Amino acid sequence: MDLTTHWNGFDITVQTVSASERCAICTNRTAGSMLAFHERPGQSITQLECKTWLLCADCAAAVVTEVERSALRTPLRLRIALGVVAAERRPERRLTPLDTDYWELLPEERVNKLVIGFMLAMFALPLLVFVLVMALTLSGVPHP
């Protein structure tokens, strides 16, 4: 089904756009065409609040299915459908060592190994650097 001709509501416009950008929901980069969902200004949405979302074909089909399945007939139904589909399809956030959840999810054995490695690096590394500098310094001094 062609979404650009069969699925333009009174408050939504769908256009095919050739862009190589990331999908607003699944964040996958598409090389071909994307579908742009435009909101039209209505009673609850002013011209300044109108938004446009670029979606891949799979996410666009999921949004259309969610909008058609919904019993809501408000102009905000597109935003609600986008939120529901994004909650299902958005990839999980990757945790970094700066996140507290990263450390809470690590097994205790792994945390212990990291702490021991950090302590060794803090105490052994300066000593090794000192010995290396002294060895290089003394090796350059001529002996009487």
Higher pLDDT, 12 or 6: 12
71 and 134 together in one domain? no
Both 71 and 14 in one domain: the answer is yes
Are 114 and 85 members of one domain? no
Please indicate whether residue 125 or residue 48 has the higher confidence score (pLDDT): 125
- Is residue 94 in a domain? no
CA distances from 35 to 5, 9, 15, 41, 114 (A): 12, 15, 6, 19, 47
- Residue 144 covered by a domain: no
**pLDDT tens-digit map of 91-137:** 777 788 888 888 888 888 988 999 999 998 899 889 999 999 999 88
List, in sequence order, every beta strand (DSSP E) within 1-144.
12-18, 33-39, 52-55
Same domain, 8 and 77: yes
Greater pLDDT, 90 or 144: 90
Which has more pLDDT, 1 or 133?
A: 133
Same domain, 85 and 134: no
Better pLDDT: 74 or 47: 74
Give the sign of the dihedral formed by CA 124, CA 130, CA 131, CA 136.
Answer: positive
State the total domains in the chain. Answer: 2
For the whole prediction, is pTM greater than 0.75? no
Main-chain dihedrals φ then ψ at residue 39, nearest 5 degrees: -90, 140
Same domain for 117 and 77: no
Whether residue 78 sits in one domain with residue 104: no
Question: What span, in angstroms and rounded, lies between the C-alpha atoms of 27 and 21?
Answer: 9
- Domain encompassing residue 56: 3-89
Do the Cβ atoms of 12 and 37 come closer than 8 Å?
yes
Under DSSP, the state recorded for 25 is T
Assign 39 to helix, strand or coil: strand
Contacts of 111 (CB under 8 A, 6+ apart): 103
